[in-house]
């Protein structure tokens, strides 16, 4: 099994000779090891035709235990294989197109810029002087001290999440906010979003 980063997120690619029990065991081991590829909230994609429906449902349940979402493409339509309702055989249709996601598995250093038309997932820190610009939402699995702009094309429903949200400047759609000079490092992850016409920041559980 290989994990590839694509323009729409992470994709699982299976060896044609591997049987399903071996695939399931390998994924379980990676999830239990805390691999950065399987960050909580990550969307994982599989190609159509490789797994049977019952096998996909089994993997969807396994991923969900670690906060990871599995979806695939069936006959040209995107289908989220989430078991949030814990009801077998229930499939939740998603939008016809999956929003592009840029996955960066490293720290973004000062002077570097990451730009995406869709969402951005950073498995690392965003250092001072670094800039993240996303048409969708931004999820940082580390400390954010740089400049972050979600919903850059006007999406007011976009949000920004970080384990420690301490940006130099934060923007969502057309709104701008700055961190106070003496911001304290939170012990919980935080989410910034638009509420009542202004940017608010609230603690969340990963």
CATH code, 127: 2.160.20.70
Last residue of a domain, one of 65, 93, 121: 93
122-127: Cβ within 8 A, 24+ apart: 123/36, 123/37, 123/39, 126/162, 126/167
Name the domain count of the chain: 2
Q: Mind listing the pLDDT tens digit of every residue in the chain (206 residues)? A: 666 655 555 677 777 777 888 888 888 887 777 655 566 656 677 766 677 888 888 888 887 787 777 765 444 444 343 333 333 443 444 443 445 788 999 999 999 999 998 999 999 999 999 999 999 999 999 999 999 999 998 999 999 999 999 998 999 999 998 766 666 667 889 999 999 999 999 999 87
The pLDDT, as a whole number, for residue 100 is 74
Q: Are residues 121 and 182 in the same domain?
A: yes
Three-state DSSP at 10 gives strand
Last residue of a domain, one of 73, 93, 113: 93
Q: Are residues 88 and 114 in the same domain?
A: no
C-alpha angle 35-36-40 in degrees, rounded to nearest 5: 95
The pLDDT, as a whole number, for residue 113 is 93
The pLDDT, as a whole number, for residue 33 is 73
Q: Which domain holds residue 15?
A: 2-93
Q: Are residues 82 and 31 in the same domain?
A: yes
The pLDDT, as a whole number, for residue 79 is 39
Report the interhelical angle of 20-32 vs 53-64 (nearest 10°): 10
The pLDDT, as a whole number, for residue 40 is 62
Q: Are residues 73 and 127 in the same domain?
A: no
Q: Are residues 173 and 191 in the same domain?
A: yes
Question: Could you tell me where the beta strands, DSSP code E, fall in the chain?
Answer: 2-6, 9-13, 43-46, 69-74, 77-80, 92-93, 101-104, 113-116, 119-122, 131-134, 138-144, 147-150, 160-165, 169-172, 175-177, 189-195, 198-204
């Amino acid at each position: 099994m290989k994990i590839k980063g694509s323009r729409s997120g992470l994709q699982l690619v299976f060896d044609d000779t591997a049987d399903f029990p071996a695939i399931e065991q390998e994924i379980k081991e990676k999830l239990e090891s805390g691999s950065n590829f399987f960050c909580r909230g990550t969307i994982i994609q599989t190609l159509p035709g490789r797994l049977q429906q019952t096998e996909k449902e089994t993997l969807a349940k396994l991923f969900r235990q670690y906060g990871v979402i599995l979806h695939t493409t069936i006959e040209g339509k995107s289908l989220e294989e989430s078991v949030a309702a814990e009801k077998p055989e229930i499939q939740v249709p998603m939008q016809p197109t999956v929003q592009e996601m840029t996955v960066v598995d490293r720290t973004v250093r000062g002077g570097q810029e990451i730009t995406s038309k869709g969402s951005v997932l950073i498995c690392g820190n965003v250092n001072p002087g670094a800039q993240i610009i996303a048409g969708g939402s931004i999820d940082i699995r580390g400390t954010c001290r740089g400049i972050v702009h979600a919903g850059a094309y006007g999406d007011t429903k976009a949000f920004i999440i970080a384990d420690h949200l301490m940006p130099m400047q934060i923007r969502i759609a057309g709104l701008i906010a700055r961190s106070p000079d003496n911001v304290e490092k939170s012990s919980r992850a935080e989410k910034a979003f638009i509420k009542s016409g202004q940017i608010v920041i609230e603690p969340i559980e990963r």
